[in-house]
Amino acid sequence: MSVAPPSTIALQDRFARELPEMAMPWQAEEAPDPRLLVLNEPLAAQLGLDPAWLRGPDGVRFLVGDRVPDGATPVAQAYAGHQFGNFVPRLGDGRALLLGEVVDAEGRLRDLHLKGSGRTPFARGGDGLAAVGPMLREHVVSEAMHALGIPTTRSLAVVATGRPVRRETLLPGAVLARVASSHLRVGSVQYARATGDVELLRRLADHAIARHSPGAARAERPHVALLEAVVAAQASLVARWMLVGFVHGVMNTDNTTISGETIDYGPCAFLDAFDPTTVYSSIDTIGRYAYGNQPVVVEWNLARLAEALLPLFSDDQEQAIAIAVEALEGFRPQYAAAWSRGMRAKLGLPEGLDDAVTAALAEDLLRLLQEGRVDFTSFFRSLGAAARGDAAPARDLFLDREGFDAWAQRWRALGPDADAMDRVNPVYIPRNHLVEEALAAAADGDLGPLGQLLEAVSAPYDERPGLERYAAPAPEDFGAYRTFCGT
- Which residues does the annotation mark as catalytic? 254
Residue ranges that bind Mg ion, judged by CB under 5 A: 255, 264
- Looking at the Cβ atoms of 176 and 374, the one nearer to Mg ion is 176
Minimum distance between the CB of residue 156 and Mg ion, rounded to whole angstroms? 18
Q: How many CA atoms are closer than 13 Å to the CA of 52, on its beta-carbon side?
A: 5
Indicate the SS3 state at residue 228.
helix
> From residue 91 to residue 110, what is the string marking binding to ligand AMP with x (rule CB under 6 A)?
xxxxxx--------------
Contact with ligand AMP (CB under 6 A): which of 34, 74, 133, 266? 266
Contact with ligand AMP (CB under 6 A): which of 51, 128, 416, 430? 128
Q: Are 11 and 103 in contact (CB under 8 A)?
A: no
Residues 6 or more apart from 148 whose CB is under 8 A from it?
Answer: 240, 244, 426, 429, 460
Q: Are 128 and 233 in contact (CB under 8 A)?
A: no
- Looking at the Cβ atoms of 12 and 487, the one nearer to ligand AMP is 487
Contact with ligand AMP (CB under 6 A): which of 250, 279, 328, 457? 250
Q: State yes or no: residue 309 binds ligand AMP (CB under 6 A).
A: no
Q: String of b and e for 401-435 (b: at least 16 CB within 10 Å)? A: eeebeebbeebeeeebeeebbbebbbbbbbbbbbb
Minimum distance between the CB of residue 174 and ligand AMP, rounded to whole angstroms? 12
Distance in Å from the first CA to the final CA of the chain: 36
Q: State yes or no: residue 487 binds ligand AMP (CB under 6 A).
A: yes
362: partner contacted, choices Mg ion, ligand AMP, none (Cβ within 5-8 A by kind): none
Q: For residues 263 and 343, what is the distance between their CA atoms, to the nearest angstrom?
A: 24
# residues near ligand AMP by CB under 6 A: 20
357: partner contacted, choices ligand AMP, Mg ion, none (Cβ within 5-8 A by kind): none
Minimum distance between the CB of residue 122 and ligand AMP, rounded to whole angstroms? 6
Q: For residues 289 and 302, what is the distance between their CA atoms, to the nearest angstrom?
A: 15
Partners of 77 in beta bridges: 23
> From residue 420 to residue 459, what is the string marking binding to ligand AMP with x (rule CB under 6 A)?
----------------------------------------
Q: For residues 357 and 172, what is the distance between their CA atoms, to the nearest angstrom?
A: 53
134: partner contacted, choices Mg ion, ligand AMP, none (Cβ within 5-8 A by kind): none
Q: State yes or no: residue 178 binds ligand AMP (CB under 6 A).
A: no
Minimum distance between the CB of residue 263 and ligand AMP, rounded to whole angstroms? 8
- By C-alpha distance, which of 360, 363, 378 is closest to 271? 378
List Cα–Cα distances, 231 to 247, 263, 314, 340, in angstroms: 20, 16, 19, 17
129-158: contacts with ligand AMP (CB under 6 A): 129
Longest dimension (CA), the chain: 68
| Stretch of 217-225, 248-256, 326-334, 400-408 lying at the interface with ligand AMP (CB under 6 A) | 248-256
Q: State yes or no: residue 264 binds ligand AMP (CB under 6 A).
A: yes
Q: Give 178's DSSP letter.
A: E
- Looking at the Cβ atoms of 263 and 347, the one nearer to Mg ion is 263
Minimum distance between the CB of residue 284 and ligand AMP, rounded to whole angstroms? 12
- Looking at the Cβ atoms of 250 and 453, the one nearer to ligand AMP is 250
| Stretch of 87-95, 173-181, 281-289, 300-308 lying at the interface with ligand AMP (CB under 6 A) | 87-95
- By C-alpha distance, which of 276, 274, 292 is closest to 473? 274
- Looking at the Cβ atoms of 19 and 80, the one nearer to ligand AMP is 80
Q: For residues 354 and 349, what is the distance between their CA atoms, to the nearest angstrom?
A: 10
Indicate the SS3 state at residue 42.
helix
180-219: contacts with ligand AMP (CB under 6 A): none
| Stretch of 57-65, 85-93, 338-346, 459-467 lying at the interface with ligand AMP (CB under 6 A) | 85-93
Residue 461: other Cβ atoms inside 10 A: 16
Q: Are 152 and 108 in contact (CB under 8 A)?
A: no
92: partner contacted, choices Mg ion, ligand AMP, none (Cβ within 5-8 A by kind): ligand AMP
107-126: contacts with ligand AMP (CB under 6 A): 122-123, 126
Q: State yes or no: residue 127 binds ligand AMP (CB under 6 A).
A: yes
Q: Are 374 and 398 in contact (CB under 8 A)?
A: yes
- Enumerate binding residues for ligand AMP (CB under 6 A): 91-96, 122-123, 126-129, 250, 254-255, 264, 266, 485-487
